[in-house]
Amino acid sequence: MERIYLDNAATTPLSACVVEAMRPYMQAGVEAPFGNANSVHSVGREAFSALEDARARTARAIGASRPDEVVFTSGATEADNAALLGMALGQRERLRLKGRAGGHVVMSRVEHDAVLHCASALKRLGFEVSFADNDSSGRVSPESLAAAMREDTVLVSVMAVNNEVGTVMDTASLARVAHERGALFHVDAVQALGKIAFDVGALGVDAASFSAHKVGGPKGVGVLYLKTRTPFEPFLVGGGQERGLRSGTQNVAGIVGCAAAIEHAVREQAAFADRARCWRDGLYERLRVIPSVHPVVDVACGDESFAPHIVSVCVRGMESQTTILQLDMRGICISGGSACSSGSLEPSHVLSALGVARNLAQGLVRVSFGEYTEQAHIDAFLSAFEEVTA
């Protein structure tokens, strides 16, 4: 049975260029480039030069103005945690030195858990957290962000593309609203990179999180973009690597793969988006006529206010897990919203924020496309889906 993988928002297969870039690092023995990038000797310097090359290439691809604005992390969860806690604490310290208080953070209700769960950590640190209202697509308008902000708001975090339903936010306008009111702006750009045009410089954000494994790179590597002079207290402390912003010996092999993946995803973005948008529109059209299917968001043909790679619908009277397992038995991999909460029978917090009824939300299924997707995979999914939901 051919394996059909349509869960690319959860993770992606490695891109061929990533495997090539990482191959030298996967060799055994002392002749391989295995060094600690912080060692003084030649083996260390060789690793350091690979690390700095990866940093410069990543910075260019995401639109950073300097390589040292790129901090390599263990993934987007770490980048999100570091951004939320590190920037909030950095801001508090900056304001304390000026004799002012600043203890308020704003985020959206549709954030990935990696951001959302920082709310309780922030509260334990003495910050107050508010949530900006969203519309029925999960979109936060500049006006609703402005309404959620206060005099003492130090940080705003709103994702660029929602991972469950594909809503694209107006990141540039949201960042502008945050800045006009004196706060910093962080964006979780995990599902935006390689899917929509995304340039941290043009968007004017202070910080952004990326994950290699969502764009054909290895798991366990990510990037925190941190604009020069952004107030930040390091989240991981220790040996002072990454200019003291993220301690821990760098995963050079993973970072080389991460840079190759990000460069490749950005280079291919426009072509991929055109392809994926056709698949998305065609799939929604065919799903809408199935009586038990309820589309979660209203995506028009060619609609660029939704990501091209995500299709989300609820199946009435059938729990996500059942649909997923029935399709899996037919060789097709999809998910029920976020991969992190796939084991949970609780309806997704994103659908609750969109106002979708609990019984309907329990039937959420998400199909997501990637580099290796073909029209034939979508056709196979559709005929299997029609069979299991009949």
Instruction: Enumerate binding residues for ligand PLP (CB under 6 A).
Output: 75-77, 80, 112, 114, 159, 163, 188, 190-191, 211, 222, 339-340
Among 118, 258, 278, 340, which one carries the catalytic annotation?
A: 340
Closer of 146 and 339 to ligand PLP (Cβ): 339
- For residue 36, the 8-state DSSP code is -
Coil, strand or helix at 189: coil
Closer of 167 and 389 to ligand PLP (Cβ): 167
Nearest distance from residue 27's CB to ligand PLP, in Å? 26
Give the Cβ contact number of residue 249 at 10 Å: 13
Report the residue closest to ligand PLP, judged by CB.
75
Nearest distance from residue 328's CB to ligand PLP, in Å? 19
Rounded Cα distance between 330 and 333, Å, is 9
Nearest distance from residue 148's CB to ligand PLP, in Å? 20
Nearest distance from residue 119's CB to ligand PLP, in Å? 15
* Residue 301 is among the residues annotated as catalytic for this protein: no
**Closest by alpha carbon to 164, among 137, 133, 200?**
137
Helices (H), the chain: 16-22, 42-62, 76-97, 113-116, 118-124, 142-148, 171-180, 200-203, 252-288, 320-328, 349-354, 358-361, 375-389
- Specify whether the backbone of 138 is left (phi greater than 0), alpha (psi in -120 to 50) or beta: left
Nearest distance from residue 35's CB to ligand PLP, in Å? 25
Rounded Cα distance between 126 and 259, Å, is 37
Contacts of 165 (CB under 8 A, 6+ apart): 137, 138, 296, 297, 306, 310, 312, 350, 351, 354, 366
Closer of 226 and 380 to ligand PLP (Cβ): 226
- For 355, half-sphere exposure in the C-beta direction (CA atoms, 13 angstrom radius) is 8
Give catalytic residues, as residue numbers.
340
